[in-house]
Chains A and B, each alone.
Chain A
Amino acid sequence: MTASELGIGVLILLSGFLSMAAGIGVLRFPDVLTRLHAATKPQVLGLAVVLLAIVLRVPTWGVLSTVVLIMTFQLLTQPMTAHMLGRAAYRSDFVRRDLLIEDDLGRDIAEHEHDDAPDGSHEGREGDPAR
């Protein structure tokens, strides 16, 4: 067993451990936001170490370019997915509010909740000191 094989084995074991941690976290955490935190582990770091293992095992330019493409797409799309899921969870009340330390989105919603009311146009409200 050479040193590179040992390194590849360690990388694969790390990816497996991250996948297991994500599965157990998704199973055990209490609400959507905390599960979101656990779910992003194999999607970014687990995939990165496995792709590094592939490049170490088959070191050609074609493999390297494909691997860079895969990693780029994952890094572009996973934050978007997490953002949309977290936002939908907040809007549809699947969030445990007693576990939140800081609620920035709630403060912003409270500040702007009159902005997009169906009847209140912006021009009418500026001339009306009663509102």
Chain B
Amino acid sequence: MTPLVIMGLAAGVMFGVGAIAALVRVIKGPSILDRALATDVLLAIAICGLGAEMAINRHTDTLVVLLVLALFAILGSIAIARFIGKEDAS
């Protein structure tokens, strides 16, 4: 177990804490904008996790996945924010 693997495990725990907190916010709401924002955060944490795994294991297999995720991360939040009405409480 090299020091880099231990650092990666610590970073993985922190990624997990952040992802779980964002997931709790997705579940709790209270508005649809909070859910969209928390989903965005969850996706960003997933991108960071994929990148960290690539950096630790010294490969670039999922770099294209990162590119596509970075391209399409915008769509969900903007679609929700564009078409939200004043009466949508959840």
Contacts and interface: CB of A to CB of B under 8 A. Distances in A.
Answer yes or no: do A and B interact.
yes
Contact of A81 (B20, B48, B64, B77): B77
Interface residues of B, number: 57
Contact of B21 (A6, A24, A51): A24
B18 A19 contact: yes
- Contact size range, A: 35 or more
Contacts of B40: 39, 43, 81
Interface string B51-88: 11011101110011011001101100110111011101
Contacts of B51: 15, 47, 50-51, 53-54
A80 B58 contact: no
Do most interface residues of chain B lie in helix, strand or loop, or is the interface mixed?
helix
B68 to A, nearest CB: 10
A70 to B, nearest CB: 5
A89 B33 contact: yes
Contacts of A89: 31, 33
Interface of B: 2-4, 7-8, 10-15, 17-22, 24-25, 31, 33-34, 36-38, 40-41, 44-45, 47-49, 51-52, 54-56, 58-60, 63-64, 66-67, 70-71, 73-74, 77-78, 80-82, 84-86, 88
